[in-house]
Amino acid sequence: MAEKIKVAVAGNPNVGKTTIFNALTGARQKVGNWPGVTVEKKEGTKKHKDHILEIVDLPGTYSLTAYSADEVVARDYILEEKPDVVVQVLDSTNLERNLYLTSQLLEMGTNLVLALNMSDRAETRGDDIDIRRLESLLGVSAIKTAANEGRGINALLDSIVNKTESNPPLPHEIGYGGRVEENICALEEILGSDRELSKNYPSRWMAVKLLEGDENALSKLSSSSIEGKVQNFLSDLDHEEYEVEMADKRYEFIGTLLPQVCTTCAEDVSPSDMVDKVITNKYLGIPIFLTLMWGMFELTFAFATPFMELIDMFFGWLAAAVTSNIETVWLASLLGDGIVAGVGSVLLFVPNIFILFFVIALLESSGYMARAAFIMDRLMYTMGLQGKSFIPMLTGFGCSVPAIMATRTLEDEKDRLITMLVTPFMSCGARLPVYILLAGTFFSRQAGSVIFGLYVLGILVAIVSAKLFRTFIAKGQPSPFIMELPPYTRPSLKDSLQHMWNQGYLYLRKVGTIIVGGVVLIWLLAYFPQGADYGSADSLIGSLGKLIEPLVAPLGFDWKIAVALVFGFVAKEIVVGSLGTLYGTGEGEALSSALVADPGFTPAIALGLMVFTLLYVPCIGAVAVIKKETGSWKWMFFQAAYSTAVAWILALVTIGVGNIVL
Amino acid sequence: MEKNHNGLKYISLLWGILYMAAGLVQVAKGVGLLPASLVSSSLLPAELAGGLVLVVIGAVFFVATFEFSKDSFEGSAYAYVGILLCLVFGTLYFLSMVADLINAYILAMEGYEKWTFVDSFKPALYLGILSGVVYAVWKNRFKPVNQGGF
Amino acid sequence: MTSRIPLAMYPTGQTCRICDVCAGKGLKRRLMEMGLTPESIIQPLGCNRGSFLVLVNGTRYALGRGMANKIIVEPVYGEVPQFG
């Protein structure tokens, strides 16, 4: 009988946690979101010796103090779900800092297995780690691994299984000494009087957290009988003093432990530092960075063309096959004009998005991304943000949804808010179909430059907006920038492909759900009422268009564009699909000729429409993420209103100027 | 050590000149300073952005040469980054050539009727191949200081 | 005799030791959690338009100027090998 074991993988950032997780689970992963927050949650299962391991990848954290969304997620999972085993991945070359998290995991009374990763690197350096000694001192299991070479993975699986069969550990206690210890005891006593509570949370751990002024821990008491007592007790204390003192004690504990288990060789300046000198060179740093960015987009577009052509051909064939083989007129229309054409127009850009995610994964796993953040820090500072904000914004070129989720690495609330509000201005992959159609149709020879110009416009609007928000809304300085630079590694093709697939899968799922729904809705509105021509002014969609036309009439947009933009809110790709429906032409060449033939659709209008599409309210997915991540309707509505207003104004200017110049 | 650096120094200088020259010609053609047909419009195309990339790579090699001439060991780090950039962009142009190849011969896409192999044989690609050869031969000389860490 | 100055004003390339962090306790603890513990040796690796690259306890960090201004350091002589 297979026994299920719940395993959580924890660890500092940049210790190879993802590689270990991938090696443990293989390609069978499930990506989703943690309930309540949109921090990406990865799960996988692995069968090992009659046991089924259900492995969850916790976000990378330095500690479990509830400092950022990541830490709360990791901590709550351990507290609430009570995994059978927690695997902490450590960087063998930097045990001191990694053991800090270990000390916190031990305090929580977890059943802990340590994976001393990057042991190859430590060995090359000449470090000698006595893991038996480490095991006996901490009461944990420890395994040396080198995940990039696949070393130690089997041993790790063995020891996870063995761990569940051994006795549960006693919560490890760090003696804090003096007045800290007195207060912990007093608090423990108060907490112990509530049976329910002390059953759910280890009392000592709770006492420690409360003393550190952990608000998240305090909120867990909110429904208990002793909340008032605890509040009273805490109100006399100055948490700030305790916080640092307790962190100090933990390091002291590690400091006494470490010499007994390992001899470390002094770290010298390594080749990687010399490469850093070049890459962050005062004059060459930014050019090299821009070069690589350009290369990334070049690859995204150039290498995707054959795949796009194939997808286009396939859906063209499918649509034709459907319409000609299904006798029922309405059904053929729904499937052919509606679903196949609509979904096809969106799937067309999947190669672009996959390649972009792949390159971003390469940059991230090679270690370059952190350097890029460093290079960009100065520039980001002038726009009122800090270097780390750059990474979500770059991801924003792929899709705003993961980009907004990526802002969780920003600890400062204001930095995070501003980054979330401006990230949608980075032109995401979904907007590209619109540019390709319109720029291709109206600016054939300069299409490339026009599209490039739109990307630049998006970046400029983001910069100016960030500056405005920093001046008027989230006043103050960007929080001081500090970021760990992971050592350079040869990026693993497997991990990058896995990352690409995980991110791309979320996109595909969106296509499968929201977009299919949106497309069907458009088709229904265009098809009914009975008797009206498909997609004509008499159809429901036509009436809707007429209704909202006045809103965009000053820009020179007609009802068809108005309708397309409304549906673009579902997903921006749909702008193309709905124009296709409204002009009754489907996708591709026919739509292009129809647009050129429409006297109301001038090049200036096309340009304005592209500007509007770039800037107006992001798609429903992105808006929902903003709501979730900011936790407030206010910021969601603010973002939607602000971006639409900016879009309206800039589109007006564009069309005005365009009418004169073009 | 000394000997290694001498070889690397001249390679850096040569590569710096090659990339810089090819880059500047592309840029000049791109902005219209030089006629696009000069030498060959496919082997040295009019491409502004692509040219700038080559100029940046050339500059990295020039800095390497400069550092070597000061007898600074940092030169090898610049040369290493430089050669990596050559390889990265060589690969990139190679992939886009593969894409063009598929477009032209397998999918017979519009606009590719007159495409030939030479049209995608851009400077970044042939210089990249050359760099690949040099790197394969001199792999150990390029890696700065020691073998570890990469 | 020690002279304590912010890291941002420290001459590049010379090793130093963290004496203090002039910041709120939250940030101070954060730095400790990230491995920048008091008394750690800092080896500056480079500086780019006001941002700093440093090596502390075997890990490399990027620091913005703001952060570098908050970290107070004192010089260390002859303990850690110099660049080169």
Inter-chain Cβ pairs, chain A and chain C, closer than 8 A: 137
**Nearest-neighbour CA in chain C from A75: distance (Å):** 15
**Nearest-neighbour CA in chain A from C25: distance (Å):** 6
**Nearest-neighbour CA in chain B from A272: distance (Å):** 6
> CB count, 10 Å around CB of B39?
11
Q: Do B96 and A124 touch (CB under 8 A)?
A: no
pLDDT tens by residue, A236-282: 777 777 777 888 888 888 888 888 887 776 666 677 788 888 888 88
From chain A, pick out residues whose CB is under 8 angstroms from the CB of B76: 274
Domain boundary among A237, A261, A279: A237
The beta-carbon neighbor of A277 closest among B77, B99, B150 is: B77
| Domain count of the fold of chain A | 3
| Domain count of the fold of chain B | 1
> CB count, 10 Å around CB of B6?
10
Examine residue A264 and state whether it is found in any structural domain, yes or no: no
Stronger pLDDT, A294 or C11, i.e. the higher one: A294
Q: Determine the average pLDDT of the residues in A599-617.
A: 91
**Nearest-neighbour CA in chain A from C3: distance (Å):** 24
Percent of chain A with pLDDT over 70: 94
pLDDT tens by residue, A211-225: 887 778 888 777 777
- Domains of chain C (ranges; CATH) run 5-75 (2.30.30.90)
From first to last of its 150 residues, what are the pLDDT tens digits of chain B?
445 567 888 889 999 999 999 999 988 887 778 777 777 777 788 778 888 999 999 999 999 999 888 877 788 889 999 999 999 999 999 998 999 888 888 887 777 778 888 888 888 899 999 999 988 888 777 776 543 333
Q: Which of A71, A383, A481 to probe the C interface (max C CBs under 10 A)?
A: A481
Domain boundary among A220, A237, A254: A237
Examine residue B33 and state whether it is found in any structural domain, yes or no: yes
From chain A, pick out residues whose CB is under 8 angstroms from the CB of B53: 291, 294-295
Residues 60-119 (B) with a CB less than 8 A from some CB of A: 60, 63, 74, 76-78, 80-81, 85, 88-89, 92, 95-96, 98-100, 102-103, 106-107, 109
Q: Which of A97, A246, A389 to probe the C interface (max C CBs under 10 A)?
A: A97
CA–CA dist A543, B67 (Å, integer): 71
Nearest to A58 by CA among A13, A10, A94: A10
CB B40 within 8 Å of CB B126:
no
Q: Which long-range contacts (CB under 8 A, 24 or more apart) does A442-451 make?
A: A442/A595, A442/A596, A442/A603, A442/A606, A442/A607, A443/A603, A443/A606, A443/A607, A450/A607, A450/A610
**What is the domain extent for residue B8?**
2-88+121-142
Binding residues of A: 11-18, 22-23, 25-26, 36-40, 57-60, 117-120
Examine residue A294 and state whether it is found in any structural domain, yes or no: yes
Return the CATH number at A215. Answer: 1.10.287.1770
Examine residue B128 and state whether it is found in any structural domain, yes or no: yes
Examine residue A256 and state whether it is found in any structural domain, yes or no: no
The beta-carbon neighbor of A251 closest among C37, C60, C67 is: C37
Domain boundary among A165, A193, A221: A165
> B64: nearest CA in chain A?
A278
**Nearest-neighbour CA in chain A from C14: distance (Å):** 13
Q: Do C37 and A267 touch (CB under 8 A)?
A: no
Q: What are phi and psi of C74, to 5 degrees?
A: -130, 155
A421 and A324 part of one domain = yes
**What is the domain extent for residue A58?**
3-165
Examine residue B106 and state whether it is found in any structural domain, yes or no: no
> C29: nearest CA in chain A?
A244
pLDDT tens by residue, A521-539: 878 887 777 777 776 778 8
Q: What is the pLDDT of residue A216?
A: 80
A145 and A193 part of one domain = no
Return the CATH number at A153. Answer: 3.40.50.300
Q: Within its chain, how far is the Cα of B20 from the centroid?
A: 9
Q: Do B96 and A288 touch (CB under 8 A)?
A: no
Q: Do A309 and B107 touch (CB under 8 A)?
A: yes
CA–CA dist A263, A258 (Å, integer): 8
CB A455 within 8 Å of CB A294:
no
The beta-carbon neighbor of C29 closest among A244, A268, A281 is: A244
